[in-house]
């Protein structure tokens, strides 16, 4: 009887322990709860920024699964948008990326003529000056599809990508210096990305060719009840860089192609710019074997942009260690990542337009129509 009692008691104790270990419902417990390992905040971060130039001031950016266009003029002629040309550009770009929204630097027709049609075909959001947003709505798109820029805005695209709007200045001719009141509203965009290899940044200045102008505040509606004074272009860019928390700008895509040296002397040392790309190329017609050839994505870039034609800029970049990456043809592409900046294959996209995988063509190139005028006396 005693042994039987002890056996029953032991069995009861084992049963109780088993029940406790199972949490009372059969779920086996593994001792004390253990906190899950910390989640890597950059686990889903992009690794690079891919950028494609397709004429004038047109850029496409792909950062991970987010893609967007700056300006996007693909015809540079006519008074109304060209639906077929826009459709062709979108079909080409989407072979290597996405178009999730569009940015516009200023309202001129060689930058923004096609924007209402892009809005119609994609249904995507537009960030642009007021005049462009007005045109988007007048074309039959919802007014809410376009956000009017003022300068100083930050658009957080996702956990890793942000765009800061910089009120900038439009280009000026030789011997000119603006007082901050003249010219069309113009914006640049500081694009930043948190990547697995560290922060990356691009500043795309849609226009501009000033030196002293960089330090003159912009004034809108001067002399009216709606007058508003903004910071100078340099101050605006400095604020954007500070807000982004970055130490330097990796890549500056500066335009137009002329008089850039005046801005370079200010921006390159101030922001530690590593790489430079000119743009606004191909807009003016030039003689090729006696025939006037103008902007045509199918023809290819009809004149080269040569370092020898911008000696001041070339020499200054050597002094700062800034490396130039000049476009050779439409739809040239590059990749910016932790290892630097390099050319990227874009043959699949170029094939849509009959362009060679590398180099100029298929049309024959002539001289730059502004040869000898890309830098001015006194620059």
Percent of the chain with pLDDT strictly greater than 70: 91
Q: Write down the pLDDT at residue 23.
A: 45
The overall pTM is greater than 0.85: yes
3-state secondary structure 11-45: HHHHHHHHHHHCCCCCCCCCCCCCCCCCCCCCCCC
- Convert 165-180 to b/e letters by CB count within 10 Å (16 or more is b): bbbbbbbbeeeeebeb
Domains of the chain, by residue range, sit at 48-353
Asked whether the predicted pLDDT for residue 26 surpasses 90, the reply is no
What tokens appear for 310 in the block?
């911008």
Per-residue pLDDT tens over the stretch 356-369:
999 999 999 999 99
Q: Write down the pLDDT at residue 255.
A: 80
Percent of the chain with pLDDT strictly greater than 90: 78
Per-residue pLDDT tens over the stretch 91-147:
999 999 999 999 999 999 999 999 999 999 999 999 999 999 999 999 999 999 999
Does the domain made of 48-353 have the CATH classification 3.60.15.10?
A: yes
Could you tell me the pLDDT band of residue 31, with boundaries at 50, 70 and 90? low
| Mean pLDDT value across residues 228-256 | 96
Average pLDDT for the chain: 90
65: left (phi over 0), alpha (psi -120 to 50) or beta: alpha
Q: Write down the pLDDT at residue 9.
A: 42
């Amino acid at each position: 009887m005693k042994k039987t009692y002890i056996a029953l008691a032991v069995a009861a104790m084992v049963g109780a322990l088993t029940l406790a270990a199972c949490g009372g419902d059969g779920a086996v417990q593994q001792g004390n709860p253990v906190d899950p390992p910390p989640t890597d905040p950059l686990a889903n971060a992009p690794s690079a920024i891919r950028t494609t130039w397709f004429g004038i001031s047109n850029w496409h950016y792909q950062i991970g699964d987010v893609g967007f266009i700056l300006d996007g003029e693909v015809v540079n002629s006519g008074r109304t948008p060209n639906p077929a040309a826009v459709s062709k550009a979108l079909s080409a770009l989407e072979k290597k990326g996405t178009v999730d929204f569009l940015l516009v630097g200023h309202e001129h027709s060689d930058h923004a003529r096609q924007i209402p049609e892009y809005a119609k075909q994609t249904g995507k959001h537009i960030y642009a000056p007021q005049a462009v947003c007005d045109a988007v709505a007048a074309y039959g798109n919802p007014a809410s599809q376009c956000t009017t820029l003022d300068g100083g805005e930050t658009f957080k695209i996702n956990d890793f990508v942000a765009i800061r709007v910089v009120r900038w200045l439009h280009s000026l001719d030789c011997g000119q210096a603006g007082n901050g009141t003249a010219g069309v509203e113009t914006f640049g965009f500081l694009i930043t990305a948190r990547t697995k290899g560290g922060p990356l940044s691009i500043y795309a200045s849609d226009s501009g060719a000033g030196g002293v102008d960089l330090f003159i505040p912009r004034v809108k509606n001067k002399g009216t009840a709606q007058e508003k004074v903004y910071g100078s272009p340099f101050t605006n860019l400095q604020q954007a860089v500070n807000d982004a928390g970055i130490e330097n700008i990796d890549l500056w895509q500066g335009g137009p192609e002329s008089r850039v040296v005046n801005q370079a002397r200010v921006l390159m040392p101030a922001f530690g710019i590593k790489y430079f790309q000119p743009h606004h190329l191909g807009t003016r017609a030039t003689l090729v074997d006696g025939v006037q050839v103008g902007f045509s994505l199918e023809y290819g870039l009809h004149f080269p942009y040569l370092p020898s034609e911008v000696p001041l800029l070339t020499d200054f970049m050597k002094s700062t260690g800034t490396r130039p990456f000049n476009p050779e043809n439409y739809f040239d592409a590059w990749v910016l990542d932790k290892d630097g900046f390099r050319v990227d294959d874009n043959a699949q996209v170029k094939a849509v337009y009959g362009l060679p995988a590398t180099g100029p063509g298929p049309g024959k190139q002539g001289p730059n129509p502004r040869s000898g005028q890309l830098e001015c006396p006194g620059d």
